[in-house]
Chain A
């Protein structure tokens, strides 16, 4: 596609009224705890139909966790503006906050919020009318570890959302094993870790209903071994009707927990080919995305990794096996100079093929002085997918919003303007976030679908959608977790190219209900309520 026809991203955060600025300890980042507190999530907390934004934050002073401004909530307003409502809602949590997940865990019709932290995580139950109550402890999900990634997913298909938390390392400020020592990386001072720290085990919480969860980590078979957990995504990888779980681990094998349907999981990552790179190495996994990038009906996995290594695309070959195709599709080489975090597949230009966004930024402020040719501030990347089996680096042709080099962490997509295309929010360390508005270009037709469960969980997480149009078939899942410390817009987005009508839209709910719609006009935002009796798009 010619440059003039490409949709462009423009950073409109300031213009939209977002004044939040992240803090995460000291500028020099002596301690590993200071390197990650920048998450972002899209949700509609007040049910007004406008998407809102939540940013996680760290303290300004590493010695004082209560310093700094805390997390921030911005309410979406018509026309694309935002107004801060942190104080009114009481969601300005202070401390070392990392990731977030938003979903209706109690199925009462409004979206709740879970925040991972260093220390007990927080669960804010939405009471309606912009009021929240922090209930993590009584709910049984105040996991005390250093939580990074998290995600809601109904793994036992009982209609309510369970919760998975990926925990990182056992960190004690000024404590063992490193105390106040600097470590070195390529000759420069760097925060120590994660190697040398004890890994903390992740946690799986089963929703028992009535606002309570049970820690089933041991009985589910996923407690050991503990790894340095980072990104998390729930998805039905083997298409057997229940949710599996993929966890990206830092410097250790990734996990692919196959749901056995009896409350237990089996880690099949090594046998399936998703634990290591294609040449057999454990990589420093950060963020993760699950999607069918090649439209073959199987869901593929993408994991972001460290600089001087490549981000890994595992193509799902079916029958439980994956192949590392990163190099073959053109993603390996271009990722080597970058340290990558938040990531997702999304159809940026509505051509029916999912493109790829990657948020980048290094860990070590002093890396610029190392003389290795890698910088602390890094540009994010956009790779275009035209369905030819390769991704093309379109970063420099996709607008001014992708030009700046910053220190990104969490990234999430949403159609916040309601114009049918997907925009992006990126959280930056010690910096303002970016709100990348997707505009212009010769975009094709589109369709947005919000799912409202009745037998299944209310957000429709775990639902699989198949869309048939004149150009072909596309598949989507509503995934819990995903990216890095981020929450996407839970609506399902399709780019339709030149197809103005969808021939067939089939939704498979976690409950087993299947709803089929035909001849659906494109370029609209629909809601489908789960029903055995009828299928009506609102």
Chain B
């Protein structure tokens, strides 16, 4: 249970017991410590905080910050004394009480002592998400599920711990055999954090206990997929951790999230890339793609146009705009965009497929045929292009040739019922012509 996220609130807290305030020298030592701390230079920060404490031993926040620096070095036991001192000096100081609660349980396994500290924190702030969550976890691990649920349920929906708290409510219900309540809570947790595998696993267990083993297994499969996605995210997360102030790592991470269908984090990272570099055209293109997938064509077109304004060489933006215009029936505009995409990226077979499809809809069947053949010769894996080629041949009355194109596709894609039906209709037509 880390508690470094209490640093900022702690820094902002005024020390109620220190009416006179620390001396300028003590304050300077404290600020020096803060600066070193923010740079990750924890041993030096510790030394500065110790000086500050020596000069102003009645300052609760100085003791607390010293404890935070010790904790950052993993010296949890050493952190205990300054935490206790901070709590003694300022009866209204929340963070040391939460930290003491965590130490009491994490290191000593002393649930009673942990509860005492955390309840003191909650007496000061009954809505403290961190205190509620920590106490909830302790109660859960000690098997006091109703008490755990009570704590988790009090966490405000705006708190960052809220989704995880909902997941833990679900786990508590699961562990106490209240399966219907577990289903409800875990479904909520999944809605709040659809990329987290834990609630899927727990819900899978619940459904399995309810006799719905198949559904349970499907949820496990989804959890496994999320775990694998998370593993694929790791290098991008690491790149971002190392360079949080650059646009490309944000964009790259957004693109991976988009690939996994996780729209919200994708959008967040694209937006962050733009916040860091407003000229980052790829981020606009990415936002356009997300909007398009969500069916918002107007917003998608706007993003693509902004992307192209920054970088006219983005073939994908042209291609995607072509798709939108094509869907809207604006065939000339679509043709213009596809042709621009082809010129910029002449080796991308799928753009030729889109163009060939457009020619088909424009009834330019010979041109459609040539374009689709070109696409397939560039990339033989374009099954969509092959199917379209068959459609064009069928439209040209070349039913036998259409069948020859569709047959291997149907064998490869057994689940594609529409294609199978198309093939069957063509065979029936050929058979009836033969009679």
B83 an interface residue at 8 Å Cβ cutoff?
no
| Prevailing SS type, chain A contact patch | loop
Do B143 and A327 touch across chains, with their CB atoms under 8 A apart?
yes
Interchain CB contact under 8 A, B142 and A333: yes
CB distance from B76 to the nearest CB of A (A): 4
Question: Are A337 and B107 touching (Cβ within 8 A)?
Answer: yes
Q: Is B204 in contact with A278, judged by CB distance below 8 angstroms? A: no
The interface size bin for chain A is 35 or more
**CA–CA, A42 and B105, complex, Å:** 37
Interface assignment of A321: CB less than 8 Å from any CB of chain B? yes
CA distance A332 to B111 in the complex (A): 10
**Contact in complex: A280, B106 (CB < 8 Å):** no
Binds A, one of B93-101, B208-216, B254-262: B208-216
Known interface pairs A323-B175, A336-B105, A374-B107; A271-B141 also in contact (CB < 8 Å): no
Q: Using Cβ atoms and an 8 Å threshold, which residues of chain A touch B127?
A: none
Chain B interface, >50% SS class? helix
Q: A279 contacts B137, CB within 8 Å? A: yes
A372, chain B: closest CB distance, angstroms: 4
* Contact yes or no, A372 B75, CB < 8 A: yes
Whether B143 pairs with A273 at a CB distance below 8 angstroms is no
Q: In the assembled complex, how far is the CB of residue B410 from the closest CB belonging to chain A, in whole angstroms?
A: 32
Query: Which of A32-40, A185-193, A229-237, A425-433 touches B?
Result: A185-193
- Chain B residues contacting A272 (CB-CB under 8 Å) are 205, 208
Q: Contact: A332 with B107, CB < 8 Å?
A: no
Q: When the two chains form their complex, are residues A373 and B171 in contact, meaning their CB atoms are under 8 A apart?
A: no
Which of B77, B103, B171, B204 is within 8 Å of A271, CB to CB? B204
Closest to A374 in B: B107
Partner of B109, one of A186, A273, A277, A335: A335
The answer, yes or no, to whether B289 is at the interface (CB within 8 Å) is: no
Contact A372 B141 (CB under 8 A): no
Residues 367-409 of A contacting B (Cβ, < 8 Å): 370-374
Asked if A183 CB lies within 8 Å of chain B CBs, one says no
Across the interface, A325 reaches (CB within 8 A) one of B143, B168, B205, B223, namely B143
Residue B10 at the chain A interface, CB threshold 8 Å: no
A273 to B175, CA, bound (A): 9
Q: Which of B125-164 contact A (CB under 8 A)?
A: 137, 140-144
Contacts of B110 in A (CB 8 A): 333
A277→B175 CA distance, assembly (Å): 10
A133 in contact (CB, < 8 A):
no
Known contacts being A333-B110, A336-B107, A337-B107, is A271 close to B217, with CB within 8 Å? yes
Q: Is the CB of A327 within 8 A of B109?
A: no
Within 8 A of A (CB), among B198-256: 198, 201-202, 204-205, 208-209, 213, 216-217, 220, 223
Q: B109 touching A332 by the CB < 8 A rule? A: yes
A324 interface residue per 8 A CB criterion: yes
- Is B75's CB under 8 angstroms from A337's CB? no
Residues of the A chain whose Cβ atoms lie less than 8 Å from the Cβ of B103: 373
Residue A513 at the chain B interface, CB threshold 8 Å: no
CB pair B75 A336 closer than 8 Å: no
A270 beta carbon closer than 8 Å to chain B: yes
| Closest chain A residue to B201, Cβ basis | A270
Q: Say whether B73 contacts A329, CB under 8 Å.
A: no
Q: Pick the 8 closest A-B CB pairs, nearest first.
A: A186-B74, A328-B143, A373-B77, A371-B75, A327-B143, A336-B109, A333-B109, A187-B74
With A271-B213, A326-B143, A336-B105 already in contact, 16 other A-B pairs whose C-beta atoms are closer than 8 Å: A186-B75, A187-B74, A271-B205, A273-B174, A273-B205, A276-B201, A278-B140, A279-B140, A321-B205, A323-B177, A327-B141, A332-B143, A336-B108, A337-B107, A370-B75, A373-B77
